[in-house]
Structure 1
Amino acid sequence: MANVFDVLNERGYIDQVTHEEELRELLEKESVAFYIGFDATADSLTLGHFLQMMVMMHMQRAGHKPIALLGGGTTMIGDPSGKSDMRKVLTREMIDHNAECFKEQFKRFLDFNDDRAIMVNNADWLMDLNFVNFMREIGVHFSVNRMLTFDCYKNRLEQGLTFFEFGYMLMQSYDFLYLYRHHNCKMQLGGSDQWSNIIGGYELVRKLEQDKVYGMTFKLLTTAAGTKMGKTEKGTIWLDRKKTSPYELFQYLRNVDDRDVEKFLALLTFLPMDEVRRLSALKDAEINMAKEVLAYEVTQMVHGKEDADKALEASRSLFAGSADSESIPSTDMDAKIFEEGIGILDLMRELGLIKTNSEGRRLVEQGGITIDGEKVEAVDRMVSLDDFKDGRILIRKGKKVYHQVKI
């Protein structure tokens, strides 16, 4: 079996790593316990987190032991990395609820049987720390001057950085030390925006324990346009089906930019790299087949084969001009609403297809809205019972967003 370091490198995950050759050799000769931390700021993981899941799955398949760290304690503060303002402070109850939701999602991707992976919550060791003891043992090893050179803090100095947030790096570094001492954890992984936090923990463990540990970051999931993958006009792409349906996840991936196909196939699927290169080399209309493979593979991993099959069928029926599939997003509405008619802009806002009337007007004026394949010509177009066939209509926004209304 290939060294997992080489696999991650070839597929384009690795951004920065400490002691590259040393780490590669370690991963070759022994099973390594490693961790990734997830602050519980929402009640679902996102498509951006799925990249981290893929890294953990690659590592576990190669015989290494994932530690999924739930940030029940660190979320009480909030990581300032990449933030222009202080993160909203959540209650303990909200954080605990979010962490429980994360637990269920982790189980879809990692094998926790026979201790092959473990899940821990840093609230268990951070919440009851004694401040003076903590600062004497941990704080003494951190230089404020050096910390202020890190981007996660430097970028916040003009807007204002609280001591509350300044302590985040110390707490995350202590996580590494705790996991080393209690679970023989030798490695911390995270997104490239976590490099300074990871270095803090890596240096702390090496100083206090006189042992070799390692840090690695992977590239953040961004599109060719430079935006974070999984961020859309309608909001974030979630791994919870109640927040983002399997069909919506499928369609998002089915419609990625041609330039992103090779990267996303390599990062978000387990397809062999020869197949990734073959698919991404397809040209013109044939590239859509590669996008379909990408969408199917990810949807299957996140939601299962049955939902992936339904989403594939729905997608194909729409591209073929048919609207028969039950998997297309739909909203049931009271027929009385349509007796006197409802304006197209009001209807689209109700369905979440637009955020403002000005957005809707622009779409209509540009010919970007259709009802059952018929272009909406006027912004004051009323939608009434006469528009419904067999109790439903299909609204299309742009070329790719479909929504059924049923009465």
Structure 2
Amino acid sequence: MNAVLDELKWRGLVYQSTDEAALAAHLDEGPVTGYVGFDPSAPSIHFGNLVQLMVWRHLQAAGHKPLLLVGGATGLIGDPRMSSERNLNPKEVVEEWVERIRAQVTKFVDFEGSNGAELVNNYDWTQNISTLDFLRDVGKHFSVNRMLARDVVASRLESGISYTEFSYILLQSLDYRELYRTKNCTLQTGASDQWGNISSGVELIRRSDGGKAHGLCTPLLTKADGTKFGKTESGTVWLDPTMTSPYAFHQFFLNAEDAKVIDYLKVFSSRGHDEIDQLEHLTQTEPHRRAAQKALADDVTDLVHSVAEREAAVAAAQALFGRGELGELPAATLEAVMKEVGVTSAEGRELPTIVEAVALAGVVTSKGAARRAIDEGGAYLNNQKVTDPEQRLTEGDLLDGRFALLRRGKKTLGALEFTS
């Protein structure tokens, strides 16, 4: 078996392939050029897309060449989904998202050297294809019966699926064949929900060109209960720091379940077998230390954002519960922390008393409960215990000139934002 394929399997990054033995032999023959695609269906990729980039970090380290395709053409249509028809985004929006995602994916692979990565855009080779040429050159190789049998299509037959979404598989298959012809690309990777598209591209290359190509799919990330992973209470975990702050990003991975944290470490960290085995042992014997979660959160945040952003996220988490200075946090980090805590707008209000502030921030249910918390010594303003219920907040109490952090006990937090 091929060494890099073995490594991918150990890391849980192989779910399905066209022919594992043939793929292993192909990888052994010499440098392989392959591709992975990202459709601009949003202004940013999310942490599920990062799985594919991790696959190519391993493949590139083994000498193979990645092509990163950002789908300026397929992004105008959208891969069909089980639930309902996608809204078609305006062309100018898709073009903007293409550029944003192209800038994002360049951070994760090396563009230098003989196997340096390349960025490609499928709009470049589809924009001038006529409908007749597309139907004659691509459509004739596809069986409607097989397309109707695809799970995503079959699930939509009763509710309805447009010809636009139905045809997506032809466009993605065309991409593979185009890269096969122009870049000698013989491998496509993707998540397991892309298997139908990937295998159809392999088949198109065989039917139209008599060529041999390969496909490899990774499993979808799931929680311990088997449900899909990728959504949190606050939404998708994006790689763009303006959409998911580095603090929230770090916290997301820090909260990984014990039952799954080693799986995520194998996927998202470059740590070796021995180190991950040691972290697995610590998770089993001393779970309260959360050593694996800390390693995971640190490694992924370093990779996606930076060491400095990770250090700021760790400092913010410590400051939040009194183990650091809230006032020393950078303004952007402080704002992210307040949003995660849950900030209540106090726009236009005069600065309240402590009793009013604790109740307004939602850390207690009433002013009476706020007064009792203060009397019992369990109320805090910016991590400082408060004892006088009639004390009124001052401008000097506002972090970054606008925030006040209220806490009851050790863990019940709320924040107020004052703006003029």
TM-score, with normalisation over the residues of structure 1?
A: 0.85
Establish whether residue 391 from structure 1 lines up as the match of residue 398 from structure 2: yes
Q: For the residues of structure 2 that align with 1:198 and 1:148, how far apart are their CA atoms?
A: 16
Q: For the residues of structure 1 that align with 2:111 and 2:133, how far apart are their CA atoms?
A: 34
Q: For the residues of structure 1 that align with 2:208 and 2:135, how far apart are their CA atoms?
A: 14
- Report how far residue 59 of structure 1 moved: 1.0
**Equivalent residues in 2 for 1:198-277 (5 A)?**
198-277=198-277
Give the direction of change, closer, same or farther, for the CA distance of 1:404–1:345 in structure 2 (3 Å limit): closer
Name the SS for the 1:28 alignment partner. helix
Partner of 1:379: none
Q: For the residues of structure 2 that align with 1:296 and 1:261, how far apart are their CA atoms?
A: 13
Partner of 1:330: 338
Partner of 1:87: 86
Q: For the residues of structure 2 that align with 1:151 and 1:345, how far apart are their CA atoms?
A: 51
- Report how far residue 105 of structure 1 moved: 0.7
Q: For the residues of structure 1 that align with 2:208 and 2:411, how far apart are their CA atoms?
A: 55
Which of 311, 314, 317 aligns to 1:315? It is: 317
Establish whether residue 339 from structure 1 lines up as the match of residue 351 from structure 2: yes
* Post-superposition CA distance 1:91-113 (Å, at most 9, x none): 11111100100111112111112
Structure 1, unaligned stretches of length 5 or more?
354-359, 375-383
Name the SS for the 1:54 alignment partner. helix
Partner of 1:25: 25
Name the SS for the 2:302 alignment partner. helix
Q: For the residues of structure 1 that align with 2:412 and 2:352, how far apart are their CA atoms?
A: 27
Give the direction of change, closer, same or farther, for the CA distance of 1:4–1:347 in structure 2 (3 Å limit): same
* Post-superposition CA distance 1:174-198 (Å, at most 9, x none): 1000000111000111000000111
Match of 1:145, as an amino acid? N
Give the direction of change, closer, same or farther, for the CA distance of 1:317–1:279 in structure 2 (3 Å limit): farther
Q: For the residues of structure 2 that align with 1:317 and 1:61, how far apart are their CA atoms?
A: 39
Decide whether the 8 Å contact of 1:32 with 1:186 is kept in 2: yes
Establish whether residue 146 from structure 1 lines up as the match of residue 146 from structure 2: yes
Q: For the residues of structure 1 that align with 2:412 and 2:243, how far apart are their CA atoms?
A: 16
Q: For the residues of structure 2 that align with 1:253 and 1:36, how far apart are their CA atoms?
A: 24
- Report how far residue 162 of structure 1 moved: 1.1
- Report how far residue 232 of structure 1 moved: 0.8
Partner of 1:101: 100
Q: For the residues of structure 1 that align with 2:315 and 2:351, how far apart are their CA atoms?
A: 33
Name the SS for the 1:100 alignment partner. helix
Decide whether the 8 Å contact of 1:40 with 1:72 is kept in 2: yes
Match of 1:79, as an amino acid? D
Match of 1:279, as an amino acid? L
Decide whether the 8 Å contact of 1:280 with 1:287 is kept in 2: no
* Post-superposition CA distance 1:259-306 (Å, at most 9, x none): 111101001111112211211222344441211110000000001111
TM-score, with normalisation over the residues of structure 2?
A: 0.82
- Report how far residue 125 of structure 1 moved: 1.2
Decide whether the 8 Å contact of 1:169 with 1:197 is kept in 2: yes
Name the SS for the 1:189 alignment partner. strand
Give the direction of change, closer, same or farther, for the CA distance of 1:147–1:320 in structure 2 (3 Å limit): same
Name the SS for the 1:14 alignment partner. coil
Q: For the residues of structure 2 that align with 1:53 and 1:64, how far apart are their CA atoms?
A: 13
Decide whether the 8 Å contact of 1:258 with 1:287 is kept in 2: no
Partner of 2:386: none
Q: For the residues of structure 1 that align with 2:307 and 2:416, how far apart are their CA atoms?
A: 26
* Post-superposition CA distance 1:233-270 (Å, at most 9, x none): 11111111111111111111111111111101001111
Q: For the residues of structure 2 that align with 1:174 and 1:264, how far apart are their CA atoms?
A: 33
Bigger radius of gyration: 2
Which one is further off, 186-195 or 156-165? 156-165
Decide whether the 8 Å contact of 2:40 with 2:94 is kept in 1: yes
Q: For the residues of structure 2 that align with 1:280 and 1:159, how far apart are their CA atoms?
A: 46
Give the direction of change, closer, same or farther, for the CA distance of 1:92–1:405 in structure 2 (3 Å limit): same
- Report how far residue 127 of structure 1 moved: 2.2
Q: For the residues of structure 2 that align with 1:171 and 1:286, how far apart are their CA atoms?
A: 49
Name the SS for the 1:337 alignment partner. coil
Give the direction of change, closer, same or farther, for the CA distance of 1:38–1:280 in structure 2 (3 Å limit): same
Establish whether residue 174 from structure 1 lines up as the match of residue 185 from structure 2: no
Establish whether residue 15 from structure 1 lines up as the match of residue 29 from structure 2: no
Q: For the residues of structure 1 that align with 2:406 and 2:57, how far apart are their CA atoms?
A: 39
Name the SS for the 1:313 alignment partner. helix
- Report how far residue 315 of structure 1 moved: 2.6
Match of 1:57, as an amino acid? R
Give RMSD over aligned pairs.
3.3
- Report how far residue 230 of structure 1 moved: 3.3
Q: For the residues of structure 1 that align with 2:409 and 2:222, how far apart are their CA atoms?
A: 23
Structure 2, unaligned stretches of length 5 or more?
374-378, 384-390
- Report how far residue 8 of structure 1 moved: 0.4
Match of 1:108, as an amino acid? K
